[in-house]
């Protein structure tokens, strides 16, 4: 087909016309392209393409030239910031490189596939369009042809990827065959995840085989879509189709979040795109001032949404630091802005009379609301007809009678709305700008925000509207679709709940409807899941008869809730608060609680293991016992005692045998069927710490403190190899899944890799001096995880193929004691001395869940072989069993909360101040539980806080002895009390009038401050404390001007002082105490003091008496906090025994009328509301804050209900009722009995509430 100008002949007219068209188009493009590229992207313009004689132009080149012009026109980018990337998911965020340069290196190399990973909205598609444009700009005849392929738009991408794409772009079969034989391609494959693909496209398309397509592939995918063994989906095969994967042909990169400099560069390019009143500095000021916004906009797509939203967000806002921006608010503002801009564009355009009439009708109806309605209906149709596949293909003559025509047909109104919506078009294919935009509009189909407009959605919202709620339409997605499987949609809707109180009312109405309407079950399950995720509290709720099968109620609060007669089939209650809940007559099939009953022994658990078939579970104890359980019933099937302590156990691949490593310096083989020792393998000269079976079962590895690893024949017990660890005791050993590698970790911190079939080390594979105490190898052998040093809480990931260090997993916990990989997927668990098991996603380093409940430091942890269960054993003899899927539910993970030291109400009762031992201070709304952090201006930790009764001062005492006085009304520090005593301020109390402040400074002294005197330096009160005793306690009398100082030890005394006295060295009165003091408070009339003691009693003391009037008993451990109610008729005490007790009485007659159970940790602080009668707050060692209300019930009984509590991420159950309930698994019943939540007359008494009835 060459256009030839042969000797003596003339070219045809068609050839001349084709050549002239080519040259004309080329010259026009050269002019346009150079101008655009030099303007939009300085330095990125295309080099001039040399003009070729038209005699050598082929018809194929002409078609490619037209295709090139079309793609350059469609691939324009208004803003582009070159992304930074790292080598793989495990690489450190500090080890970054330019993705653009790395792709250029790839294209110049012999590698064939480059995988680009990134989070949703990270800029993968934008980079792909940039790359396509650059390759087309530089394209010359016979260069590799760049093809940007949208994978979801290809019907069979695994069979004919290139051919189908070229046909879609109108290339003929002859041209396709010619290109297959003679041309090279750069395939830029976008949306592997959105196409829901799992196959290896390079392999299935036979790329780079003889006679097949000659390609290099750049393929992008969302990180969240891939599992742990994702590389096998992308690595090309070797020389032949049947060869193993060839890693040297593969490369990958992970796009990292924007840095601050990249954000600023983006803003600089964004500002000139339209006439704007804001400068780059204006945008950056707002981005850095609004709390948490800079973290949000590190994602490029959310950055764009934020820039569009910021002018609206900050309009008329005085205090930017108080603005709270959510994801759904950004999308709302972006969509309204997008539609408004397009509305104004249409009004400026030259339109036909018919088009102008259509536009006028749209404007009259409200263009923005009509646009939102169009996009919402389209998203709903995509989920209904395509199950969420984002690409919609429409060819009018073929599809005019399908559902697509309603949205993509030629009707003027449809066309205007389509062209004004946030959609992109590629030929006949349409899609939303981003997957999250599709999910946003599906959320709009559940709740339409445009019909519930609020004046300023970024300001605090008004209280509940008393008007009845209008129920959602029953044919909408809330009723028709299981939204629980769409976590992004649930997140949008949960944010909507906090934005629109009428949506909250609608969801509650749907739940109520399900009581009488069986068809509302799906909608009710969706509704209650959304509300729980939004933080709605169902405490004291009437949920009798609701039907919510499959609802995800993880992390929910259901104190004193009534579920009688409800359908709870398949409900997930993981990490929920369930206290005084009535489950009578409920349907509870497949209900999950996130964990299973624990196994209790009376010796420390040293090692645990599941059998490969999952039917057996074994653990070894410090007293030498080896115990095996049946995992179906969790009944013990065997127990025997070894002669020495077993330190490590491992099941054989056939499930029949156990390898045991012990303190006796031997490795033994135990038969689980005959219950006998088959082999005793001797040779080690010190204890054996770790054992492992090879995947084939023919070899056993044992690691010893004698600095060697021995490899044994599992059939004969013969020693095959001795591997020398060069003078370091070996702590751990593990085989790769293919048995080709053995990994070991030593006391010296060195990690080594060996070839077990040869007994030799792998060349150049030693990780020196990491100080690791435990090492784990992933199931596919591709990753190592090891603790970063003795006593460290951090876990380092490493790629075993490249040796590159990867992510560091860190949660500010305590020393890591064990690590295990999930056999399937991307999960890791770790256990620590802080009594917590942590579940991690090793693909991104995120902490998924903290599994709390152990009372002693955890010694070991492991996954079951199906990856569905986790077992952890502790030093106290408890083995806990957790459900993985129930603890992976889509909740917003809370930050790790330190122990609560103090809680206190503000003078008006509207706020609660909490102070934790890590120095953080939170201010809580006493009605809703909404919180904010109170900043500290000091570099020292806060050790105590106090609020003045007159509402003027908030005091924070620091570790260095300084006290800051904040004006509560202005939130400004007005004074700093800085005395000469450099000791931590451990206790403070204000006088009722606000003039005086008394402070206790650690082990040094008590000081009194006169706040009316701005020059006051503080007076020392009484004697200096003994340096060897604990800090004292101070409290002001609520009447008069008296305060008390409690000296806890040597000997225990109570001293009373008058702040007006000139001599404060001697008390007005001193009372000797027989019990160690832990807390104290004045009665409202100032005549008595109530004391909490170390011996679990509460003492009421008349200040005129030498002996206590009343001794209240009931607590079983130290009373950490005690306080009188404002009316004086109640006393509240919090204890180390994990309960709060409510005492009622008068003068010398008091009794306990209620015990508040359910707190999983000691109650450290309690306080009464000064305004709301019978309301109080508790703080606990788990970091939680809970507000309670006292209610009177029949026959004068007292009932205490929780109003709200901060989430702590663990299951809390107490005082549950299950009369008539159907389907509750016996396993979960045993769990609840163990927790003391219910009783079981059939269970041995010693098994009930083994760990206390308040857990």
Nearest to 177 by CA among 1, 411, 393, 3: 1
Pairing of strands 1043-1047, 1053-1057: antiparallel
Q: What pLDDT sits at residue 1092?
A: 94
Q: Using CA atoms, how far apart are residues 315 and 423, in angstroms rounded to an integer?
A: 28
Of the two residues 928 and 1024, the one the predictor is more confident about is 928
> How high is the pLDDT of residue 45?
40
pLDDT tens readout for residues 603-637: 999 999 999 998 999 999 999 999 999 998 888 99
Maximum average pLDDT range among 465-479, 867-881, 1023-1037: 867-881
Q: Who wins on pLDDT, 1017 or 413?
A: 413
Q: How many CA atoms lie within 13 A of 420 on its CB side?
A: 28
Asked if residue 1051 has a cis previous peptide bond (ω within 30° of 0), the answer is: yes
Which pLDDT value is given to residue 386?
93
Q: Does 709 score more than 80 pLDDT?
A: yes
Contact 1001, 984 (CB under 8 A): yes
Q: What is the largest CA-CA distance in the chain?
A: 132
Least confident range of 222-226, 340-344, 565-569, 822-826: 222-226
Q: Sign (positive/negative) of CA torsion 974, 978, 982, 983?
A: negative
Euclidean distance between CA atoms 158 and 142, whole angstroms: 26
- Contact by Cβ (8 Å): 688, 667: yes
Beta-ladder partners of 255: 85
**Do 662 and 644 touch, CB atoms closer than 8 A?**
yes
Query: 24-38, 104-118, 683-697: which range is least confident on average?
Result: 24-38
Q: Is the pLDDT of residue 240 over 60?
A: no
- The Cα–Cα gap between 208 and 136 comes to 22
What is the reported pLDDT for 1239?
A: 67
Sign of CA dihedral 464, 465, 470, 473: negative
Residue 1091 has pLDDT above 70, yes or no: yes
Name the least confident of 219-228, 756-765, 1054-1063, 1230-1239.
219-228
Q: How far is it, in rounded angstroms, from Cα 773 to Cα 297?
A: 38
Cα angle 513-519-523, degrees, rounded to a multiple of 5: 65
Query: Does pLDDT of 1247 surpass 70?
Result: no
| Sign of the dihedral through C-alpha 118, 119, 121, 125 | positive
Domains and CATH numbers, the chain: 13-255 (3.40.50), 258-322 (no CATH), 326-446 (no CATH), 451-536 (no CATH), 537-593+1219-1255 (2.160.20.80)
pLDDT tens column, 812-824: 677 888 999 988 7
The pLDDT tens digits for 747-785 are 766 778 889 999 998 876 666 555 556 788 887 777 888
Cβ neighbourhood burial of 67 (10 Å; 0-12, 13-18, 19+): middle
* Residue 928, both tokens: 């809703």
Question: pLDDT over 90 for what percent of the chain?
Answer: 48
Burial class (CB in 10 A: 0-12, 13-18, 19+), 585: middle
pLDDT for the residue 53: 44
For 238-247, 494-503, 634-643, which range has the lowest pLDDT when averaged over its residues? 238-247
Among residues 1096, 1079, 998, 1094, the alpha carbon closest in space to that of 1033 is found at 1079
Kindly report which listed range (857-861, 995-999, 1233-1237) carries the lowest average pLDDT score: 1233-1237
Left, alpha or beta for 770 (phi > 0: left; psi -120 to 50: alpha)? alpha
Tell the residue number behind the tokens 């990827």, with chain if given.
161
> Residue 54: its pLDDT value, please?
43
Q: What is the pLDDT of residue 1005?
A: 80
pLDDT of residue 367: 94
pLDDT band at 1134 (very low <50, low <70, confident <90, very high): very high
User: Exposed e or buried b for every residue in 929-962, given b needs 16+ CB within 10 A?
Assistant: beeeebebeeeeebbbbbbbbeebbbbbbbbbbb
- Going by pLDDT thresholds of 50, 70 and 90, the confidence category of residue 297 is confident
682, pLDDT greater than 80: yes
Q: 1192-1215, pLDDT tens digit by residue?
A: 755 567 889 999 998 767 888 989
Q: What's the pLDDT tens digit per position in 526-542?
A: 999 999 999 999 999 99
Residue 1248 has pLDDT above 50, yes or no: no
Distance CA 707, CA 750 (A): 12
Tokens 């709301």 appear where? 1172
Length of the chain: 1255
Helix (H) or strand (E) holding 399: helix 396-399
How far is it, in rounded angstroms, from Cα 807 to Cα 88?
10
pLDDT at 890 over 70: no
pLDDT confidence bin for 43, thresholds 50/70/90: very low
- Tokens 């303007």 locate to 39
One DSSP character per residue, 848-906 reads EEEEE--SS-EEEEEE-TTSSEEEEEETTSEEEEEETGGGGSS--PPPPPPPEEEEEE-
Q: How many CA atoms lie within 13 A of 1152 on its CB side?
A: 15
Q: Of the ranges 456-470, 511-525, 699-713, 728-742, which one carries the lowest mean pLDDT score?
A: 456-470
Q: Which residues contact 219 (CB under 8 A, 6 or more apart)?
A: 113, 114, 115, 116, 187, 189, 192, 201, 234
d(CA 112, CA 34): 31
| One-character DSSP codes across 108-131 | TSS--EEEEEE-TTSSHHHHHHHH
Q: Given a cut of 60, is residue 33 above it in pLDDT?
A: no
Lowest mean pLDDT among 18-22, 177-181, 899-903, 1153-1157: 18-22
The pLDDT of residue 1246 is 36
Residue 340: other Cβ atoms inside 10 A: 14
Q: What is the mean pLDDT of the chain?
A: 84
pLDDT value, residue 316: 63
Instruction: Give the pLDDT score at 488.
Output: 87
**Could you tell me if 35 and 41 are in contact, meaning their C-beta atoms sit under 8 angstroms apart?**
no
pLDDT digits (tens, 9 = 90+) for 986-1004: 899 999 988 999 998 876 6
Q: What is the pLDDT of residue 1183?
A: 86
Taking residues 381-392, report their average pLDDT. Answer: 92
Given pLDDT bands bounded at 50, 70 and 90, which one contains residue 727?
confident
In sequence order, which residues have a C-beta less than 8 Å from that of residue 1246 and are 6 or more positions away? none
């Amino acid at each position: 087909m060459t256009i030839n100008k042969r000797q003596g002949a003339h070219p045809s007219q068609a050839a001349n016309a084709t050549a002239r068209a080519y040259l004309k188009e080329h010259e026009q493009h050269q002019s346009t392209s150079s101008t655009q590229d030099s303007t939009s992207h300085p330095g990125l313009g295309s080099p001039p393409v040399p003009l070729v004689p038209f005699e050598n132009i082929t018809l194929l080149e002409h078609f490619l030239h037209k295709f090139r012009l079309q793609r350059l026109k469609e691939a324009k980018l208004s803003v582009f910031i070159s992304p930074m990337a790292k080598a793989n998911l495990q690489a450190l965020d500090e080890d970054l490189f330019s993705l653009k340069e790395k792709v250029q290196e790839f294209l110049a190399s012999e590698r064939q596939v480059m995988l680009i990973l990134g989070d949703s909205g990270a800029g993968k598609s934008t980079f792909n369009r940039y790359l396509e444009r650059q390759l087309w700009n530089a394209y010359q005849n016979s260069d590799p042809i760049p093809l940007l392929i949208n994978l979801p738009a290809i019907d069979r991408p695994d069979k004919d990827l290139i051919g189908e794409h070229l046909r879609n772009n109108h290339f003929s079969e002859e041209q396709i065959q010619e290109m297959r034989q003679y041309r090279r391609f750069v395939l830029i494959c976008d949306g592997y995840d959105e196409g829901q693909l799992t196959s290896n496209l390079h392999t299935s398309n036979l790329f780079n085989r003889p006679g097949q397509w000659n390609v290099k592939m750049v393929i992008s995918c969302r990180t969240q879509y891939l599992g742990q063994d994702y590389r096998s989906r992308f690595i090309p095969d070797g020389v032949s189709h049947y060869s193993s994967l060839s890693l040297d042909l593969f490369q990958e990169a992970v796009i990292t979040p924007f840095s601050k400099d990249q954000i600023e560069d983006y803003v600089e390019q964004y500002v000139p795109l339209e006439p704007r009143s804001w400068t780059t500095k204006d945008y950056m000021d707002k981005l850095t001032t609004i709390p948490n916004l800079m973290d949000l906009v590190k994602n490029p797509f959310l950055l764009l949404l934020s820039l569009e939203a910021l002018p609206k967000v900050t309009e008329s806002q005085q205090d930017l630091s108080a603005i709270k921006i959510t994801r759904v608010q950004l999308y709302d503002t972006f969509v309204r802005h997008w539609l408004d801009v397009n509305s104004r564009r249409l009004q400026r355009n030259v339109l036909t009379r018919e088009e102008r009439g259509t536009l006028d009708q749209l404007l009259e109806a409200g263009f923005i609301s009509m646009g939102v309605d169009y996009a919402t209906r389209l998203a709903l149709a995509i989920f209904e007809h395509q199950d969420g596949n984002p690409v919609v293909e429409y060819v009018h003559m073929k599809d005019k009678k399908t559902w697509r025509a309603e949205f993509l047909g030629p009707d003027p109104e449809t066309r205007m709305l389509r062209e004004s919506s946030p959609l992109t078009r590629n030929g006949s294919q349409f899609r939303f700008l981003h997957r999250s935009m599709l999910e946003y509009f599906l959320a709009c189909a559940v709740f339409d925000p445009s019909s519930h407009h609020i004046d300023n959605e970024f300001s605090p919202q008004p209280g509940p509207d008393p008007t009845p709620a209008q129920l959602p339409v029953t044919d909408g997605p809330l009723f028709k679709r299981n939204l629980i499987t769409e976590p992004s949609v649930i997140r949008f809707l949960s944010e909507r709940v906090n934005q629109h109180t009428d949506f909250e009312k609608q969801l509650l109405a749907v739940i109520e409807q399900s009581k009488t309407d069986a068809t509302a079950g799906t909608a009710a399950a969706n509704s209650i899941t959304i509300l729980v995720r939004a933080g709605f509290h169902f405490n004291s709720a009437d949920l009798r008869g609701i039907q919510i099968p499959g609802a995800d109620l993880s992390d929910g609060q259901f104190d004193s809730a009534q579920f009688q007669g409800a359908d709870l089939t398949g409900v997930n209650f993981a990490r929920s608060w369930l206290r005084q809940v009535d489950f009578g007559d409920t349907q509870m099939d497949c209900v999950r609680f996130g964990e299973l009953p624990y196994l209790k022994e009376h010796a420390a658990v040293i090692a645990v293991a599941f059998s490969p078939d999952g039917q057996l579970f074994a653990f070894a104890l410090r007293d030498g016992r080896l115990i095996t359980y049946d995992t179906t019933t969790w009944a013990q099937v065997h127990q025997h005692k070894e002669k020495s302590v077993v330190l490590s156990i491992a099941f054989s691949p056939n499930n029949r045998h156990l390898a045991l490593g012990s303190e006796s310096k031997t490795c033994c083989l135990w038969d689980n069927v005959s219950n006998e020792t088959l082999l005793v393998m001797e040779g080690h000269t010190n204890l054996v710490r770790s054992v492992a079976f090879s995947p084939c079962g023919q070899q056993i590895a044992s690691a010893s403190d004698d600095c060697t690893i021995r490899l044994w024949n599992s059939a004969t017990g013969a020693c095959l190899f001795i591997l020398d660890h060069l003078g370091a005791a070996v702590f751990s050993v593990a085989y790769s899944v293919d048995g080709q590698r053995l990994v070991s970790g030593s006391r010296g911190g060195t990690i080594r890799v060996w070839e077990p079939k040869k007994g030799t080390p792998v060349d150049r594979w030693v990780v020196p001096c990491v100080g690791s105490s435990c090492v784990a190898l992933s199931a596919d052998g591709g990753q190592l995880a090891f603790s970063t040093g003795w006593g460290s809480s951090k876990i380092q990931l490493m790629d075993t193929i490249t040796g590159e260090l990867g992510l560091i997993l860190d949660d500010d916990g305590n020393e890591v004691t064990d690590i295990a990989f999930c056999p399937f997927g991307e999960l890791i668990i770790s256990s620590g001395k802080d009594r917590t098991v942590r579940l991690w996603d090793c693909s991104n380093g995120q902490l998924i869940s903290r599994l709390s409940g152990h009372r002693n430091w955890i010694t070991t942890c492991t996954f079951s072989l199906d990856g569905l269960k986790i077992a952890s054993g502790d030093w106290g003899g408890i083995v806990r069993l957790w459900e993985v899927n129930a603890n992976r539910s889509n909740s917003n993970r809370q930050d790790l909360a330190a122990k609560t030291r103090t809680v206190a109400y503000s003078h008006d009762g509207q706020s609660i101040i909490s102070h934790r031992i890590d120095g953080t201070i939170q201010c809580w709304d006493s009605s809703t539980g909404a919180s904010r952090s109170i900043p500290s201006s000091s570099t020292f930790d806060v050790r105590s806080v106090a609020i003045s009764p007159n509402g003027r001062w908030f005091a924070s005492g620091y570790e260095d002895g300084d006290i800051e006085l904040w004006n509560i009304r202005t939130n400004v520090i007005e004074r700093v009390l800085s005395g000469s005593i450099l000791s931590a301020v451990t206790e403070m109390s204000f006088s009722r009038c606000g003039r005086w402040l008394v402070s206790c400074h650690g082990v040094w002294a008590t000081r009194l401050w006169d706040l009316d005197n701005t020059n006051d330096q503080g007076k020392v009160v009484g004697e200096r404390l003994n340096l060897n005793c604990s800090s004292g306690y101070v409290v002001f009398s609520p009447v008069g001007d008296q305060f008390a100082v409690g000296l806890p030890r040597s000997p225990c005394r109570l001293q009373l002082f008058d702040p007006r006295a000139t001599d404060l060295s001697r008390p007005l009165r001193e009372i000797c105490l027989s019990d160690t003091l832990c807390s104290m408070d004045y009665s409202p009339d100032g005549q008595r003091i109530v004391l909490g003691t170390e011996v679990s009693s509460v003492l009421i003391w008349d200040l005129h008496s030498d002996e206590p009037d009343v001794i209240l008993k009931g607590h079983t451990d130290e009373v950490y906090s005690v306080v009188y109610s404002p009316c004086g008729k109640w006393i509240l005490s919090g204890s180390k025994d994990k309960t709060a007790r409510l005492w009622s009485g008068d003068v010398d007659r008091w009794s306990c009328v209620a015990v508040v159970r359910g707190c999983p940790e000691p109650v450290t602080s309690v306080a009464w509301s000064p305004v709301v009668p019978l309301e109080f707050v508790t703080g606990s060692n788990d970091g939680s804050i809970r507000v309670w209300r006292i209610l009177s019930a029949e026959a004068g009984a007292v009932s205490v209900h929780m109003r709200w509590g901060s989430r702590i991420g663990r299951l809390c159950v107490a005082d549950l009722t299950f009369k008539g309930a159907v389907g509750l698994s016996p396993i979960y019943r045993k769990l609840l009995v163990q927790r003391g939540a219910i009783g079981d007359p059939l269970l041995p008494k010693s098994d009930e509430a083994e760990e206390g009835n308040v857990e």
